[in-house]
Amino acid sequence: MALTVHRPETVDAFLDLAADYLVAREAEHNLLFGICTAIRTMPELFAEDPPRFLVVTDPDGRVVAASLRTPPNNQVLSQVDGTNAVGVVADALVGEALPGLLAPSEVAAPFLERWGERTGQRAELAAAERIFRLERVIPPERPSAGVWRMAEPRDRELVAGWLVAFVAEALPGELPPQSPLETADRWIAGTYRQLYLWMDGGRVVSAVGAGGATPNGIRIGPVYTPPEDRGRGYASALTAAASQDQLDRGRRFCFLFTDLANPTSNKIYQAIGYRPVCDMDQYRFVS
Q: What is the pLDDT of residues 117-129, one digit of tens each?
A: 999 999 999 999 9
In this prediction, residue 1 carries a pLDDT of: 67
Q: Say if 4-120 and 134-277 have the same CATH topology.
A: yes
Q: State which residues of the chain have pLDDT below 50.
A: none
Class of 134-277 per CATH?
alpha beta
Backbone torsion region of residue 192, taken as left when φ is above 0, otherwise alpha when ψ lies between -120 and 50, otherwise beta: left
Q: Check if the beta carbon of residue 128 is closer than 8 Å to that of residue 261.
A: yes
Classified by CATH at the fold level, domain 4-120 comes out as: Aminopeptidase (3.40.630)
Phi, psi values for residue 120, rounded to 5°: 80, 0
**Of residues 30, 77, 31, 27, the one with CA closest to residue 52:** 77
- Position 128 scores a pLDDT of 95
What is the dihedral sign for C-alpha 87, 33, 132, 101?
positive
pTM of the model: 0.94
pLDDT of residue 175: 65
Domain chopping of the chain, boundaries = 4-120, 134-277
Angle at CA 254, nearest 5°, toward 23 and 243? 160
Say what the pLDDT of residue 142 is.
82
- Per-residue pLDDT tens for 53-65? 999 999 999 999 9
**Predicted pLDDT at 82:** 85
How high is the pLDDT of residue 172?
Answer: 66
Pinpoint the alpha helices (H) of the chain: 11-23, 30-41, 83-93, 105-119, 156-170, 180-189, 234-248, 263-271
Is residue 127 classed as helix, strand or coil in its secondary structure? strand
Mean pLDDT taken over the chain: 94
**Distance in angstroms (rounded) separating the CA atoms of residues 232 and 35:** 33
Half-sphere exposure of 160 (CA within 13 A, CB side): 14
